[in-house]
Structure 1
Amino acid sequence: MKKRVLIIENDNDIRFIVEYILNERGFETLSIPEPLDLLEIIPFRPDVILLDEFINSRPGHRLCRKIKQVNGLKNVPIIIISTAQDIELIAAECEANDHIRKPFDVDDMVATVLRIVNHQSLAY
């Protein structure tokens, strides 16, 4: 069964590129600019969430905290993706599982997703 990645990124170009890359590497993806209701993404059952830190001028780390409080999502690992200088601090503050700095190297991005997904599947 393919691992599922939920991509929450408001930049259409970046969202398309990340989705394309992950699909080519064998992942099943769902990409959205912003969730209107977190309960709507539960049926996708993501194995990992890639979350942009800047979602329509709102901080993604707040959404990260909200996700971690929703039954059906709270155990899903989150990777914050951002151009923010203090991305390590932001990721730690919202208890994200990792971070990816933009602009990212494609192989590094895929390796981070794989590491998190593989680590998560060992936990079950």
Structure 2
Amino acid sequence: MSKRILAIDDDPDVLEMYSLILTMEGYDVKTLLSPDNLSGAIFDFVPDLILLDIQLGYYNGLEICSKLKSNPLTTHIPVFIISAHESIHKAKTDFNADDYILKPFDMAHLLEKIDDRVSGKVVSFRRASA
């Protein structure tokens, strides 16, 4: 089963880029131009990771991130803030984002961060010899 990424950005070109590239990388992607139906999208789509812009019209992505991280039903979902806004540097410390990436960004760097966060790491445990 492919990992699911929910991307929220008010720029349709950014969302199209996410959709094309992440789908080519094997992810299942859902995009939203507005967080109006974010709760419904989260519970219908069940994302493994959320990509979230800061400036979303009337909404502030940092505040949305904080609400997601304080909700017991969504706190486990990693949230990456992706923005050119200067407040991005507070995303982890003040709003509990799992990571942040400044726009413009290198897609290979974003993919590396996503892969690191959502891919299951297999750890080999060996029994000690008796």
Mark the runs of 5 or more structure 2 residues left unpaired by the alignment.
Answer: 124-130
| Alignment of structure 1 residues 30-109 onto 2, 5 Å | 30-41=30-41, 42-109=43-110
Normalising by the residue count of structure 2, what TM-score does the alignment of the two structures yield? 0.84
> Which range is displaced more, 74-83 or 109-118?
109-118
Q: Which moved more, 1:25-34 or 1:77-86?
A: 77-86
Stretch of structure 1 that moved more, 60-69 or 8-17: 60-69
Q: For residues 119 and 84 of structure 1, what CA distance do their matches in structure 2 show?
A: 31
Query: 1:118 and 1:88, CA in 2 relative to 1: closer, same or farther beyond 3 A?
Result: farther
Sequence identity percentage: 30
Q: Is the 8 A contact 1:77 1:120 kept in 2?
A: no
Q: Distance in 1 between matches of 2:24 and 2:54?
A: 24
Which amino acid in 2 is paired with 1:76? I
**Deviation by residue 1:20-64 (Cα, 9 ceiling, x = unmatched):** 110111000000012223430212110000000111143210111
Contact 1:97 1:116 in 2 (8 A): no
Mapped to 2, the partners of 1:11 and 1:57 lie a distance apart of 14
Find the residue that maps to 1:37 and give its secondary structure.
helix
- The AA in structure 1 aligned to 2:88 is I
RMSD (Å) for aligned C-alpha atoms: 2.1
* Matched pairs, number: 122
**Distance in 1 separating the partners of 2:39 and 2:88:** 27
**TM-score scaled by length of structure 1:** 0.87
